Every structure is written in C-alpha cells, then in structure tokens.
Structure 1
Amino acid sequence: MTVGETRDLADDRVLLGRTSTAERVADVLRTRIAEGWFPPGTRLSEDAIGGALGVSRNTLREAFRLLTRERLLVHELNRGVFVRVLAVEDVDDIHRTRRLVECAVVRGLGRPPYALDGLTAAVTEGESAAHAGAWADVSTANIHFHRELVALAGSARTDELMRGVLAELRLAFHLVGDPRPLHEPYLARNREILDALRAGDRTTAERLLARYLDDSRARVTAAYARAVEAPGGRAG
C-alpha cells in the first residue's frame, strides 16, 4: 500500500462516524475492493489501514474476519491477511448468483415509473469514461450500474448480498488484463436495459438482462481461465 493510497483511504474516516463498528469498517473496505483499490493477492497492513481509518486493531481484525467470511479476504498463517485470488469456478458461480438475483429484482418490480436516477447516473458515468478512454473507470461504472439495478428492489438485505458479490467480481477483473474488450460491449446494453425500464417494460428489461448476464458469464469466465492458466497467472 502506497503513501498516497493510505492518505486517500483516510478520507473514508468520515464515513465511520463517532460510533465506528467493525461492520462499517468492513463496508468501507468492501467498497474499496469493489472499486479496484486492492488487487487480488494484496497484503492488507493492519497498521496502515487502522491508522488511516482511525480504528483499533481489534476492530480492524473483526472487519477482516467479516470479509474473510464473505470470501473477499484470506488469512495466511504467519503471513497476514490478503485479498483473495479467485478460482475459475468462483467466477462462474458469481455470475450464476448475479443472474438469479438481478433478474428476480427486475421481474419483481412494481408498477412504473421506477426510480432510475442512480441507474441513469451509472450509465452516463460509463459512457463518459469510455469517451475519455478510461476503461478501468468503465469497469467501475459497470459495477455501479448493477448495484443500482439491484437497489431498485428497495431491500437492504439484497443490497448487502450484491455488494459482496460485485466486490468478488471485481477481483476477477483485475487478473483479466485489458479491460476494454471485457467492458465495452456492455455500454450499449446497459443503456438498452435503462431505456426498457424507463418505458415501464420490465419484461423486455429482464430479457435483455438475462442475455447480458449469460454473455458476461461466458466471456468473463473464459477470459479469467486464460489469465490464470497463463505463465505467471494465479488461481485461488
């Protein structure tokens, strides 16, 4: 972890409030993993992170335990805590979970109009990042799109589930390499889903989403398998 990363992480201290808990610390770290801050295999320093967030060692260790149970971190005896490196089977299972949850959310939407401000912002974010050639930011915007899509259910439990799932997915993206071919095809598809929801057509939106997630499952799993099987590749 660099000095700059520690300084930026310290900016998240305000999110913890005066009644900081391990769950809140875990939420901050989960978000940072989902946004690509900590690549797979990164060792997390208790001193650096605890100091940046202003929390005790015991609180931080409990947060690490929570994220280990979510399969985002792994504890290695006498070495410390590391961001997990996924197996190919994990990547495939993540996509199966996403399809089950995301399609169910869209299918279960009530009568339109829907609250689409967050989804619209995520689509615009991705298109702007693509225009600037910032493909890692396109990846982040895509994560935001799916998080906002699930948020349409209005369920704190579903939101919590998907935060962990999407953070795991981001771990896969780190090992794939060039993000452009992985994420560019989905920019237009995100907008198509948004347009269908704007029109109040949840049936079309679900159909588009199901195809999207099936294609993503095949594409990402294959790309990840190639990455971990290449010389120097890693698998969990």
Structure 2
Amino acid sequence: MDGMQPAPGDDALVDTLREAIIAGAYLPGARLNEAAVSAELGVSRNTLREAFGVLTEQGLLTRIPHRGVSVGSPSTAAVIDLYRMRRLIECGVLAVADPLHPAVAGMRAAIAAGEAAIEGSDWSAVGTANMDYHTALVSLADSPRLARTYRNTAAELRLAFMKIDNPEQLHRPFVVRNAEIVERLAANEPSEAARLLERYLIDSERTVLAAYTRLGIG
C-alpha cells in the first residue's frame, strides 16, 4: 500500500481504498486492521469506519460482528450476478454507441496497454488493461451514474479474478477479442459489436466459474 495518499474528503478516501483493493493491496478475504489502516492513511478511525461502511454496501468489504471488516470474497452466485449486470450494462451501451465518441480512443489505448503487458507476461497488468477497456466502453454512454454503478461492479469482479490461480488463461484470450469489438464499432456496426461482446462476456463468465469449480470455491 505504499504511496496511497487520500485527498481530503470521505469520497476521496472511499476511492483510495477501492483502488487499493482493485490493485491487490488487500487480497480477497483479508481482514483489515482498523488502527493500522487509519494510521497509514492519516485519517481518523471514525472517518475510516464511514468509508468501510460505504465499501461494505458496494460489496467490496464484509463486516462480521465481533470480527471486524474483511475484503470481499465473491461467491459463485455473486459472480453469476455480476456478469448478468455486465451484460445488461455493457451490451446495452455498446448497441447504441457512437463510433466517433472520444471514449473509443480510450478503448484502443487499453488494448495497446494489454498487448504490451502480454509481451512482458505481466498478467495483473493485462487484467488492469482489460478493466480499463470496459470502463472506457461504459463511458460511451456519457452517464456518470451508470459509470459509478459499473465501477463498483467491476471492482467486485476484480476480487473474484484475484482468487483464480491462472491469470493468463483468465485475461490473455480476451485482449484480441477487445480489438475485434472496437473494430466493429469503428466500422459503424454497433449491433454486431454488442453481439460479439455478449458472447465474450458469456465465455469470460464460464472461464471464471470453471476456475471456481476447480478450486472448490462455492
């Protein structure tokens, strides 16, 4: 967690903690020591508790009475629900997207970052690039509310990804498919792009659920 410097304000603290969770500073299921985290971030324990409450509502943390707060560890049922949300949000956005929207450049930049990470066999960075790609895709809708909803969905799903022991299998095949989807959109074929994305998300869900089964995660 070195270098985490939250800006003033509870919202900024929530964002700082969320980004730390996404980056793997806290692993799924890890207990968070309130005193240690508050000291590290330079915030009061009351302020930290409020941020923990927000992240618990968003599914990123779990509070167990008399045991404190732990990082979320998505179940199989949660993964299925998260992918259901992704298909509704992402495919819906893409089906009506403007191929000239500035967010398309963000999608292309994320693809390039993913390809570069593959060259270095940095599978965590490939996963981050994939996440950035889908975040840019949702921004095609120009809806801050939808973007916030998706951000929380994606962050919770990233926790599920961290539980899987083969990140290459999880991320590598989808970089090429990201490029196929954006090219269909650029060719002014948003419906076809949305169809490819739906198939992509179904395959991604199956990959995650198969890994969960192999690892005995319920």
User: Residue 71 of structure 1: CA displacement?
Assistant: 1.2
Q: TM-score, normalization: structure 1?
A: 0.86
1:172–1:224 contact (8 Å) kept in structure 2: no
- Which residue is 2:204 aligned to? 216
> Match of 2:36, SS?
helix
* Counterpart among 123, 128, 135 of residue 111 in structure 2: 123
Kept after mapping to 2: 8 A contact 1:114/1:198: no
Q: Which residue of 2 aligns with 1:166?
A: 154
Does 1:104 pair with 2:104?
A: no
Kindly indicate whether residue 73 of structure 2 is the aligned counterpart of residue 78 of structure 1. no
Query: Aligned partner of 2:59: which letter?
Result: R
The alignment partner of 2:141 has SS state of: coil
Separation in 2, partners of 1:72, 1:117? 29
Partner Cα distance (1:53, 1:148) in 2: 29
Conserved 8 A contact 1:85-1:171: yes
**Residues 114 and 197 of structure 1 are in contact (CA less than 8 Å); yes or no, is this contact kept in structure 2?**
no
**Aligned with 2:100 (options 104, 110, 113):** 113
Alignment of 1:1-236 (within 5 A): 5=1, 7-9=2-4, 12-13=5-6, 16=7, 20-110=8-98, 112-115=99-102, 116-227=104-215, 229=216, 235=218
Q: For residues 36 and 181 of structure 2, what CA distance do their matches in structure 1 show?
A: 41
2:163 aligned counterpart, secondary structure: helix
Quote the Cα distance in structure 2 between the aligned partners of 1:73 and 1:130.
30
TM-aligned CA deviation for residue 121 of structure 1: 1.4
Distance 1:99 1:154 in 2: 18
How many residue pairs end up in the alignment?
Answer: 217
Q: Percent identity?
A: 42
Q: What is the root-mean-square deviation of aligned Cα atoms in Å?
A: 1.5
Contact 1:114 1:200 in 2 (8 A): no
* Between 121-130 and 198-207, the greater mean CA deviation after superposition: 198-207
CA distance in 2: counterparts of 1:77 and 1:68, whole angstroms = 13
* Stretches of structure 2 lacking an aligned partner (at least 5 in a row): none
Q: TM-score, normalization: structure 2?
A: 0.93
CA distance in 1 between counterparts of 2:157 and 2:51 reads 20
Shift of 1:226: 2.1
Counterpart of 2:3, as a letter, is D
